[in-house]
């Protein structure tokens, strides 16, 4: 794979994290007029990702934003077993996480290197590449900082100065409460910093791992907060109504102001969330 960026992740980790501190557990405080929102995977509407390819096109389901508009967007992409795109470029850079199956994304002449669930990659705008999939069901979460998301021929390829990154799930660097003060000293959750924006102040992406039996609160203070379940499932308690929603793979929750997210992992396995935010998180 291109650029298995363990050293970059470690460097970014120390840049993002302060020295470990033992924080006292915060008392849960109600938020006036909470903005918490949940979207279940069953509520996502699927359509063709690239209508020009007809029945050969992967499927796309918008999770948040508007893939055809100009705003930042997160969507799911679904590929059939054996799918392989022709060489192409995109007009925007995207980031992606494998949720199901095996996905290959690389230069047109590169040997297949299959990324498993929990793997992360980036694809710079303008760079020629192919995407392939192998498995009964292959799903990725894709994210762009602005739209629309378009597919274009390689004769329009250009170099925007960015370089792609493929990080296999086995190369993710996890931090516990002894390595970052974003996690309470009583919590057994873990996190991994993935990226930080050079153009949008404080915008960053990270994974959060919640072990089996986890029950707690995730506090966020940014006006941008998007979270997608990329592995496992969790129970999410909506504020005010106290309604509990079970979020499975591909489900989503967000907030647009300071928020408290009450979450429980009642599943038989660990749950991993992908988060995009411009604020700090306390777990």
Give the N- to C-terminal CA distance of the chain in Å, as an integer.
33
**pLDDT of 18:** 45
> What radius of gyration do the chain's Cα atoms show?
19
pLDDT tens for 93-145 read: 999 999 999 999 999 999 999 999 999 999 999 999 999 999 999 999 999 99
Are 147 and 62 contained in the same domain?
yes
**pLDDT of 214:** 97
Are 164 and 180 contained in the same domain?
no
**pLDDT of 242:** 94
Burial class (CB in 10 A: 0-12, 13-18, 19+), 176: middle
Residue 1: pLDDT above 50?
no
**pLDDT of 25:** 37
Are 166 and 62 contained in the same domain?
yes
**pLDDT of 81:** 96
Measured distance CA(58)–CA(47) in Å, rounded: 9
Domain that holds residue 51: 44-170
Nearest CA to 78 among 96, 93, 52?
96
**pLDDT of 226:** 98
If one counts the domains in the chain, the total is 2
Residue 227: pLDDT above 70?
yes
Residue 5: pLDDT above 70?
no
Measured distance CA(92)–CA(97) in Å, rounded: 17
* Residue 1 belongs to a domain: no
Mean pLDDT, the chain, integer: 90
Q: What average pLDDT does this structure show over 145-163? A: 95
* Residue 86 belongs to a domain: yes
Are 61 and 81 contained in the same domain?
yes
Are 203 and 214 contained in the same domain?
yes
Nearest CA to 115 among 128, 97, 130?
97
| pTM summary value | 0.89
**What is the secondary structure of 195-219 as a DSSP string?**
EE-SSSTT-EEEEEEE-TT-EEEEE
Residue 198, preceding bond cis, omega within 30 degrees? no
* Residue 264 belongs to a domain: yes
**pLDDT of 150:** 93
Q: Which residue has the higher pLDDT, 159 or 15?
A: 159
Cβ-contact 204, 277 below 8 angstroms:
yes
**pLDDT of 277:** 98
pLDDT tens for 173-208 read: 999 999 999 999 999 999 999 999 988 889 999 999
Measured distance CA(10)–CA(5) in Å, rounded: 9
Cβ-contact 64, 131 below 8 angstroms:
no
**pLDDT of 9:** 46
């Amino acid at each position: 794979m291109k650029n298995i960026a363990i050293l970059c992740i470690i460097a970014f980790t120390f840049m993002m994290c302060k020295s470990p501190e033992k924080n006292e557990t915060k008392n849960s405080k109600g938020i006036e007029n909470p903005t918490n929102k949940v979207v279940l995977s069953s509520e996502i509407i699927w359509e063709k990702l690239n209508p020009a390819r007809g029945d050969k096109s992967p499927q796309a389901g918008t999770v948040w934003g508007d893939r055809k508009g100009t705003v930042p967007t997160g969507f799911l992409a679904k590929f059939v077993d054996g799918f392989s795109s022709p060489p192409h470029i995109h007009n925007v850079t995207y980031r992606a996480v494998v949720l199901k199956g095996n996905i290959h994304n690389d230069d047109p002449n590169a040997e297949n290197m299959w990324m498993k669930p929990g793997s992360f990659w980036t694809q710079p705008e303008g760079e020629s590449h192919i995407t392939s999939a192998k498995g009964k069901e292959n799903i990725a979460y894709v994210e762009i900082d602005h739209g629309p998301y378009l597919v274009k021929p390689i004769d329009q390829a250009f170099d925007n100065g960015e370089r792609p990154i493929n990080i296999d799930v086995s190369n993710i660097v996890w931090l516990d409460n002894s390595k970052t003060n974003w996690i309470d000293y009583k919590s057994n959750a873990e996190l991994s910093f993935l990226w930080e924006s050079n153009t949008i102040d404080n915008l960053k992406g990270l994974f959060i791992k919640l072990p089996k039996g986890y029950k707690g609160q995730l506090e966020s203070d940014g006006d941008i907060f998007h979270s997608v379940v990329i592995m496992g499932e969790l129970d999410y308690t909506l504020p005010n109504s106290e309604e509990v929603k079970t979020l499975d793979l591909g489900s989503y929750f967000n907030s647009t102001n300071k928020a408290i997210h009450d979450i429980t992992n009642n599943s038989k396995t660990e749950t991993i969330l992908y988060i995009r935010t411009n604020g700090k998180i306390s777990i």
